[in-house]
Structure 1
Amino acid sequence: VIIFASHVNSFFKAYKPPVSVESQLVVDTSPYIKPLMQLLDEYESFGLILLDTHRARIYVVNHDKIETSKRLSKDIMNRHRKGGCSQARFQRLRRGAINAFFKEVSDAAEHLLSEVKRVVVAGPGTAKDEFIEYLTDDLKKRVVGKIDVDFDEKDVLPAAEETVIEDKKHSVLKKLDVFKKEVLRDGLAVYGVEETVAAARNGQINFLFVLKDLKIKGWICEHCQAVEPGETRNCPYCGKPTSEVDVIEEVIEFAERTDGEIVFVDDDTLKELGGIGGLLRFK
Structure 2
Amino acid sequence: MADHHVQQALAELCELRSDGEPIVSLYLDTRWPDEKQRERSRVFLQESLRRTVDRHAAHPQLEALRRTLGRVAAAAGERVGQPGGADRGLAIFACEALGLWSVHAVPRPFVDELCTDARPHLLQLARLADDVEPGILVFVHDRGARLYEVALGAIVNEATVERPVPGRHGQGGRIRGGASPSPRGASGGAFYERERKNQRHVEELADRARREAVELLRQLWERDPRANLVLVGTSEKVAAFERALPARMQEKVLARLPRPPGKESWRGDGKAALLGQVVEKIVGHERGQEAAQVEHAIGEALRGGLAVLGPEDVVAAVNQRRVHRLIVEEDFERSGWRCRNCEALGTTHDEVCSFCQGPLALVEALSEELVGRVLAEDGEVEVVAHTNRLHAYHGVAALLRQGRANGLSGREPPAPPGGPP
Mark the runs of 5 or more structure 1 residues left unpaired by the alignment: none
User: Which structure 2 residues correspond to residues 13-52 of structure 1 after superposition, within 5 A?
Assistant: 13-17=102-106, 18-28=108-118, 30-42=119-131, 44=133, 46-52=135-141
Alpha-carbon separation, structure 1, partners of 2:389 and 2:201:
64
Letter in 2 for 1:77: V
User: Which AA in structure 2 matches 1:144?
Assistant: L
Structure 1 pair 207/133, CA: closer, same or farther in 2 (3 Å)?
farther
Corresponding residue number in structure 1 for 2:157: 69
Give the aligned partner of residue 253 of structure 2. 143
Matched, 1:106 2:218: yes
The one-letter code of the counterpart of 1:145 is: A
Give how far 1:278 is off: 2.0
In structure 1, give the amino acid aligned to 2:215.
Answer: K
Per-residue CA deviation, residues 76-132 of structure 1 (Å, 9 max, x unaligned), is: 321574346666456435422431233123323444xx2855332222233333334
**How far, CA to CA, are the matches of 2:322 and 2:227 in structure 1?**
22
**Alignment partner, residue 253 of structure 1:** 372
1:37-186 map, 5 Å: 37-42=126-131, 44=133, 46-53=135-142, 54-63=144-153, 66-78=154-166, 81=175, 82-83=194-195, 88=200, 91-111=203-223, 114=224, 117-133=227-243, 135=245, 139-150=249-260, 152-153=264-265, 154=270, 155-186=273-304
Percent of aligned pairs sharing the same letter? 19
1:252 maps to amino acid: V
| C-alpha distance after superposition, 1:216-255 (max 9, x if no partner) | 1111125422001243564343344432212222222222
The secondary structure found in structure 2 opposite 1:26 is strand
SS at match of 2:158: strand
* Greater mean alpha carbon deviation, residues 97-106 or residues 36-45: 36-45
> What is the distance in 2 between the residues matched to 1:129 and 1:187?
41
CA RMSD of aligned residues (A): 3.0
| Map of 2:349 onto structure 1 | 231
Work out the CA distance in 1 between the residues paired with 2:314 and 2:92: 28
Q: Determine the C-alpha separation between the residues in 1 that align with 2:245 and 2:342.
A: 47
- Count of residue pairs the alignment pairs up: 278
Distance 1:145 1:222, change over 3 A: farther
Give, in whole Å, the separation in 2 of the partners of 1:35 and 1:127.
40
SS of residue paired to 2:113: coil
Q: Is the 8 A contact 1:120 1:164 kept in 2?
A: no
Deviates more, 1:43-52 or 1:212-221: 43-52
Letter in 2 for 1:170: G
Q: Which deviations, in whole Å up to 9, do the C-alpha atoms of 1:27-71 show, x marking residues without a partner?
A: 31x3221232234445555442323232303131535xx241213
Query: d(CA) in 1 for partners of 2:208 and 2:155?
Result: 33
Gaps of 5+ in 2: 1-89, 168-173, 176-193, 404-421
TM-score w.r.t. the length of structure 1 is: 0.81
Q: Note if contact 2:328-2:382 (Cα within 8 Å) is conserved in structure 1.
A: yes
Question: Of 78, 83, 95, which residue of structure 2 is paired with 1:6?
Answer: 95
Question: Aligned letter for 1:242?
Answer: L
Contact 1:219 1:231 in 2 (8 A): yes
Match of residue 399 from structure 2: 279
Query: Are the aligned partners of 1:48 and 1:59 in contact in 2 as well (CA < 8 Å)?
Result: yes
* Distance in 2 of aligned mates of 1:46 and 1:222: 43
Question: Equivalent residue of 1:213, what SS?
Answer: coil
Sort the Cα spacing of 1:40 and 1:196 in 2 relative to 1 into closer, same or farther, 3 A: same
Structure 1 residues 195-233: Cα deviation after superposition (integer angstroms, max 9, x where no partner): 111223444334322233112111112542200124356
Matched, 1:266 2:386: yes
Asked if the contact 1:46/1:61 (under 8 Å) is kept, the reply is yes
- Would you tell me which structure has more strand in proportion to its own residues? 1
Whether 1:205 and 2:323 are equivalent positions in the alignment is: yes
SS of residue paired to 1:15: strand
Aligned-partner residue type, residue 148 of structure 1: P
Q: Bigger shift: 12-21 or 101-110?
A: 101-110
Contact 2:95 2:101 in 1 (8 A): yes
